[in-house]
Amino acid sequence: MLLKRLEIQGFKSFADRVELAFNSGLTVIVGPNGSGKSNIADAIRWVLGEQSVKNLRGSRLEDVIFSGSVKRKPVGMAEVSLTLDNSNGRFPLEFNEITVTRRVYRNGESEFLINKTPCRLKDIHELFLDTGLGRDAYSIIGQGRVEEILNARPEDRRSIIEEAAGIVRYRMRKLEAEKKLQETEVDLVRVEDIISELEGQLEPLARQAEVAEKYLAYQREEQELEIGCLVRQGQQVREKLAELQCQVQELETAREEAAAALARVEASRQKFQRELEPLEAELQAIQDKYTSLLSEGEHTQGQLQVLSTQKQGRREQATLLRRQLEEIETELADSGETAAADALLVQQLEGKRQQLQSELAAVNERAESLQKELDTIRQALVSQKDSSAQALNELTRLEQQQTAGAIRLAGLREKIEHLRNQIQEIDRAITTWQAREKQSQKWQQELERGRQEHESRQVGLAQSRKEMEAELAQLEEIFNQKQQQWQLLASKARVLADMQQDYEGYQRAVRELLLRRQRGEPACQEICGVVAELLQVPQEYEIAVEVALGGALQYLVTETDQGAKQAIEYLKGHNLGRATFLPLNTVTASTLREEEKATLLKRPGVIGIAADLVSYAEKYRPVINNLLGRIIVCQDLDAALGLARATGFRYRIVTLAGDMLNPGGSLTGGSYQRRNANLLGRARELEEINQAAKQVNGEREELRKQIEKIRSSLRENQKQKEELETRTAELRLKLVEAQRDWQEARSRCQELEEQREQLLQNLESCQREYTQVERELDSLARKAAELETVRQETGNAIEAENIRLAEQEKALQNLMARQTELKVELAQVEQQLTGLKTIDVRQRLERRRRLQQLEQIQRDLAVLEQEGEALEQRKNELAEHWAKLQQETERVREKLLELRQKRQTMQIEERKLLELWQSSQERLQELERTAHQLELKRTRQEAEWENITQRLWDDFGMVFNQEQVIAYQGLDLKQAMRRIKELKALMAELGQVNIGAIEEYQRIQERYTFLQNQAQDLKEAKAALYDVIAEMEAIMAQRFAETFAQVAEHFSRVFTELFGGGQARLQLTDPENLLTTGVDIIAQPPGKKTQQLSLLSGGEKALTAISLLFAILEVRPSPFVVLDEIEAALDEANVARFAEYVKNFSDRVQFLAVSHRKGTMEAADILYGVTMDDSGSSKVLALEMTR
């Protein structure tokens, strides 16, 4: 078996696809540091199943994917394929070549393939188990692996010997057996505990089950008898119903004849009434006119009397108004002379009053002006005196302030100088601490940004996880609901499909014929189907159509009457009962006339004709019209009654609720329960359920995909969360340290800043105070000079104002005296004017009122004259009209007498017709009462029949049929009822019965037996596992001992050859326990004494490990060996010996070495050079060596 080919793409530095072909012998891969030559060894290790990214010199799985460079973008996938020659059949696969492929994507998804067939990572591990290949095998050795072998504990070092001995497979089997043994022991304990618990339940359950079986036996017998009683009672009721149906049909014929006679009488009577109605109307019109004329004559005569009275009153009123007019004209002439004298006196007084008012206003204005001047002078004197006193006090205070300010200036100069020295010292300290603070703050900010970024991502992940978990819980709950809903719908669909397939709910004869037609019975082949199947009825009309059809739902439709005859003969011959047939060639349609239908459909509440509301094939139209063509469907019972009355109860009418009105007026109705197992709606219901189930199943599958997607996202979320938590914890530790350093510098800076700020504030305060004191002293000097000047000017002004005040006070007193005189004189004039004006106003008002009376009287006289003339004219007109009314009234009275005589004659004829109608009506009513009584009896029997069939269906899930009637024909009802009572008593004596105990006992008994068998199987499995473990341990011990002896022998020889002398050996740390013993290496290089491995030089350690590797290869050669710079620590002489040994060994083992040592390169058969171009991608160049 050879390594034939290695293909790399996107793995680490190999951005582009690279293919390396290998032959037998030694292949060496060389290249400068960082070129990517060791990535070839990593690629082989990775494709063979390595899971530790750390062993591949990375930290994350994404690190194995080419991450890009300055000149090249990253790739999205890494892929490595390894092709091996299997022509010798070493691998348990039927292929001459085996290609193992491994891919990884940036989203974390991985793919594993064997010969392009997807597989698991576990499958790859098992493929290379005990072959020397694999992730932990000795076939891939690097520098780190050399040190690991030498520095490992003896117990860990034995794994190399185990791999060489080929017992890793057995150890894994042993571990699996031990795990199974542990699980088996746990299962056995659990099973024995359950068995013990079940043993305590079996005995009481056995007793309960025995009682329950007795109870069920009694119950089954009771149910059988009850079914028999119901069937016998149903048969009796059905026979009574048939008898009642015959009576109803006979009565219906008689009722129709009576109704026809009544209709003829009613037609004659209506004709007579139509002739009488115009006469009555004419008579009433003449009567009304006669009454109106009499009333109008009386009214006209009364108006004439009223007009005479009104005319006399108008004459008397005119005489009175003329006397009042003369008196008013005399009074108006006397009042005019007095008013003229009073007006002249008022005019004189008005002129005097205006003169006095003008003079008084001038005096008032002058007095106010003088008063204001006096007030101003007095206020100025008070102010000047106050100013003089304040100026004197302020001069004294200013002198004191000037003395105190000079003292303060001297103290402030000394304090300012001391503060400036302190501030300079603090500034130097602040500069030192601020530099340290900035350095700490920068470090802290970098850490904080990293921490916040991580925490932000954690919060986002947590929020996202919370949302996803909530969404997942909600989706799982919805999924469970949809699952239950789908299962329920599927169960319902199966039940309905079975019922439809088996024609459940149909009478026995109908069901048998339909089933035998399916089986190809010749006598049944002309059957087209049952009426219920041939109709498609909208759901809202199902009840109405079912009631309208009744038993006709189960009528069978045949192609011809001959086909119906054959089916009837078949029923007779096989004693299958009776059925009704509708041959298509004999059944005729029964429909309403188009004009009749149009009139009916216009009635309120009418939905339509039953035959028009259903769908069916065209060939069945005669049958459907025969059954439903004359049945009307109405919205409700009120609409149905209205239609029945309007049509004389001539039609069969059904409502949407299932009420029915029969011809003749009988009604059938009440609570409707379907007795035909929903034959009409069964197909529709099945289709609806199938559609609903399909929709729910689609929703369920969509929910399943969403749930799986969210679970995958949750796993990825958890992985990211753990990585972030680790990184965040590291950052927090560093951040605490940075914060502590920054806090110390910041605290010290703040303290110094506060001290400096305080000193600056003190300095600024002192400087402001110094400047303020200087300004205050200058100000005080200026104020003192100004105050002295003001004090002198104020004294001179006070003296001048006192003289002016005395002059103004004297002038004001003279004006006040004149003001008083003018006010007295003005008051006297105004009093005289007021008196005269009051008298004038009263006189004017009285004159105006009398003038208005004069004008009104004149108008009234004119109106009275006009009304008198109009009354005379109206009186003449009324007298003429009254004469005409007398003539018309006499003519109308004669016409009225003539019409009354004619009506009396017609009323006598009408009474005769009415008596004939009443007798016909009584006959019809008598027949209706008899029909109603029969209908009541039939209704009671139908109710009894419905109750019996409903009980059969509700209590026993059975449909009444002829087969049951035959089965229970010999049952004695009285004896059966007595036995039912006895059975009820026996069941009552049993007391409380646990029916579930039977099933529970059987279930537990079965489980008990099953668990006992399982316990026995577990015990046998436990013993078998102990045998397997013992066998594996024996094989492992034997193979380990044999392999160790061979490796130890070869190790001593190889060590001497590679070192050019010296000696070495392998020894077991615990030879008595070969399954756990460790392996020690004892080495003595040439010229040295035996010593511990840790004391050897680096080159000696490497050569010792190489010796052990070659010793193992001598015992169990690997298909190929990868050496990754394991000779790097050797000197040139040892490298030459190493290369020579590898070269000699390469005729048995294929070697692939990654090296940069000259001796190794010289020994190569094929040389691959690895370089890295300027885009950061590794390239490979092959060179075949010639000798």
CA distances from 1068 to 141, 165, 1041, 1044, 1106 (A): 23, 15, 10, 9, 20
Strand order in the sheet with 1120-1124: 140-142, 1120-1124, 1150-1154, 26-30, 1166-1172, 1178-1184
Phi, psi of 1179 (to 5 degrees): -125, 155
What is the chain's length? 1187
Closest Cα partner for 1043 from 167, 76, 309, 211? 167
Phi, psi of 852 (to 5 degrees): -65, -40
Kindly give, in sequence order, each residue whose CB lies less than 8 Å from that of residue 96, ignoring residues fewer than 6 positions away. 85, 86, 87
Residue 719 has which token pair? 């992985």
CA distance 993 to 990: 7
CA distance 9 to 17: 4
Is 895 known as a binding-site position?
no
CA distance 44 to 1118: 14
Closest Cα partner for 240 from 966, 961, 941? 941
CA distance 19 to 10: 12
Phi, psi of 637 (to 5 degrees): -70, -35
Is 36 known as a binding-site position?
yes
Residue 192 has which token pair? 């024995």
At 1062, the amino acid letter reads G
Kindly give, in sequence order, each residue whose CB lies less than 8 Å from that of residue 734, ignoring residues fewer than 6 positions away. 447
Residue with tokens 């004892």: 1082
At 941, the amino acid letter reads Q
Is 35 known as a binding-site position?
yes
Q: What's CA 8's distance to the chain center, in Å?
A: 50
CB atoms within 10 A of CB 166: 18
Is 166 known as a binding-site position?
no
652-655 and 660-661 beta bridge pairing: antiparallel
Residue 32 DSSP class: -
Strand order in the sheet with 581-583: 527-530, 556-558, 581-583
Q: In this structure, are residues 664 and 460 in contact, taking their beta carbons and an 8 Å threshold?
A: no
Is 1013 known as a binding-site position?
no
Is 480 known as a binding-site position?
no
Residue 1024 falls in which region: left (phi positive, over 0), alpha (psi -120 to 50) or beta: alpha
At 434, the amino acid letter reads Q
Could you give the angle at which helices 168-502 and 682-956 cross, rounded to 10 degrees? 90
At 1029, the amino acid letter reads I
Q: Give the Cα-Cα-Cα angle 960, 966, 970 (nearest 5 degrees).
A: 115
Dihedral in degrees, nearest 10, Cα atoms 392, 397, 401, 402: 20
1079-1084 and 1063-1068 beta bridge pairing: antiparallel
Residue 1034 has which token pair? 């024996």
Is 39 known as a binding-site position?
yes
At 1152, the amino acid letter reads L
Q: In this structure, are residues 509 and 540 in contact, taking their beta carbons and an 8 Å threshold?
A: no
Is 37 known as a binding-site position?
yes
Residue 593 falls in which region: left (phi positive, over 0), alpha (psi -120 to 50) or beta: beta
1166-1172 and 26-30 beta bridge pairing: parallel
Q: In this structure, are residues 125 and 49 in contact, taking their beta carbons and an 8 Å threshold?
A: yes
CB atoms within 10 A of CB 779: 12
Closest Cα partner for 114 from 83, 77, 90? 83
At 955, the amino acid letter reads D
> Which residue positions form the known binding site for ATP?
32-39
Q: Tell me the binding residues.
A: 32-39
